[in-house]
Structure 1
Amino acid sequence: MSSQRAPWAVQPETSRGRLHPEPAGDSRSPFQRDRDRIIHATAFRRLQYKTQVFVFHEGDHFRTRLTHSIEVAQIARSIARRLALDEDMAEALALAHDLGHPPFGHAGEEALDAMMKPYGGFSHNAQSLRAVTLLEARYAAFDGLNLTWETLEGLAKHNGPVRSPPPYIAEYDRLHPLDLASHASAEAQVAAIADDIAYNNHDLDDGLRARLFTFDEVAALPLLGEALADARDAAPGAPPERLAPEMIRRVINRMVIDVVAEAGRRIAALAPRSAADIRAAADPVIAFSDTMAEANKVVRRFLFTRMYRHWRVNRSMAKSRRVLQLLFTLLHGSPQMLPAAWQARAGDAGSRDCALTVCDYIAGMTDRFALEEHRRLTDPDIPG
């Protein structure tokens, strides 16, 4: 397998290893083992009932964090294969990148960030690292999943070099330095851009399904208008539920082709000889072309105004923020209401340790568990 990878790909044989040394064990590569540990993690299973845009009870066919993560992994593997990178590592990072997301999507993140402001705020990216290095409790010998240095580096730098790390990333970096100021590997960059591709396209699909906007509006957007016209030509008279997937898959394909071509140009100009050269580069090597990047920005602006700020979504987000803010306030002020195992970690009411514990507890909730916990804590007719 190693002969099939580009010299600048991460090489499993030269991995920097794990914080807690382990024997090589079976025939899987270190990054295959990372991927498998992520799939078996409790935090990964919980993504099934965590919001992407629509709360879980709003419909069975809308994306959740789990289906989004699987779709990101598929796109990441496709790009990594075309660029002769390590597909297993790209897939592992794609599957893990949202493990730290709280319930209710960005509304939940905004609520926790506001409540945690006195203690350094809340970042789902830092929470993902916290989940795989501390909160998962599946092994007798250590906390977390004990993933490889390369996978942890990719998680910490999901959005590029980290100049001002959130508190937990800074804390972990002191224990296990992740070279935060440099770029991540090409595989980590692939996972990040696959996230962008999946996010926009699948939100378009869900927005059309929810009738937040129309095909006529989408037709006016760059890239999407051309893909929609091609889909209509290929399937004349197709109903909306078939036309949308036909359009979306064409857009995804064009974006993947664009990334591969642009990466080829950047890699040729850089002439890297190892993964270290990718990390040391002044700019990322995995990116959209300028034309595609601009088209992507237009789509993002459209989604922001027509979907993320749609009155129906705004109502749901406002209610979700209030649920988490109240949960945090009640539990931070009265940690004796936490389950026993969490009480032991919390310490005194109102303290920083208590805030961190309550934040971890809430961030790990699914949408439906958060709603149930809210009812248990606020409705006197429901037993605790």
Structure 2
Amino acid sequence: MRQRNLDEELLQDSPSKRIGDVLHDLKDMTDDFNQQQAQVRFLIWQCAERQRQEASTKISIKNWWKYELQGSRDYFAMESHRQSLIEFYAKEAGIVDGKIKSFKYSNYVGRNLSPFCVVDTGDSRTRQLFLEHMKGQYANKVKEWVDSTLQTEIGAMRSDRYNKTGVNGTLVFEPMISTFDKVQSIPLKLVMTVISELRPDLTWKKDWAHNTVFIPDAAGQVETYLAWCALDHLHGRCVIYINEELFDKRAFRQAITAQEFAWTSRKGWGKSKSKTLATVGNLSRDDVVNPEGSFMEQIGLAKSEGKGKRNAYSTTVERAMKSELPFRIEVLSLATTEFVKTYNEHLYKLLTRWS
């Protein structure tokens, strides 16, 4: 009896048994990982759909003329100015008064008046009617003007010194884009900037739907692909495929790195948009720990504004997260004839993973 038990114990500890246990554990880990990925995929999809639904009724009007606003009366005058101008074009588009009165306006970022005015029209049909009118009649751009009832009040205001000639005062009407879709567009925007920098001699078009940049033929269709951004949302990865016959991979990678840094600088640390004073990338550890330095001032946390001020830790973490690119970028070269094949392979991989 004792000998039989010993044999059973030896059999249980045999290499094949141990391999079986390892394989079983690996299968459990794979199942857990697949389940977690499925949950993340669902959350990404749910978030994207919610954002798109919220954006589907909204219009963004940008490039308003900026003024030095002194008090509540000035802010109210600017709100009234924007609303009266938007209502004028809404009536011109044939939208009924009842609908126009239900429009909701968003003019602020925190406590500051935004250069954007976001209008919630209430439904997608009304938004489309408004945008089609602005595109057909004005090519989505109009010169800003002031209603006669507000000319005296606004005329007394002093213009902000940060107004840009040819930009501020030329209003652009655009459909509101969801944050998810804006995030997807960042790599392609960087690519377009780099292409313009490295090859200013090329005439090209962009395709937001496919994340590609290409040279068009006479009919406006694809003749030669210049670049394509292959996005992997689940892993936060973007592979930028460039045409090896038209670009040097090393030069392109260096240029895209510089554009990444410029993007994080614009979105990162500082007192306001487009006026960044410091970024994580251009501060050394010595700059940060120097007692006589101005690190806290550079990131806008030099002194408290009293009760209700958010703590420095939370603000710092939020800014660090905001300044990060949403995708880790890699640059690879492709032959002109390989773009379509590689695109289809990438799409198939995503479909098999997400299905």
Higher helix share: 1
TM-score calculated relative to the size of structure 2: 0.23
Q: Which has the larger radius of gyration?
A: 2
TM-score calculated relative to the size of structure 1: 0.22
Higher relative contact order (CA 8 A, sep 6+): 1
Higher strand share: 2
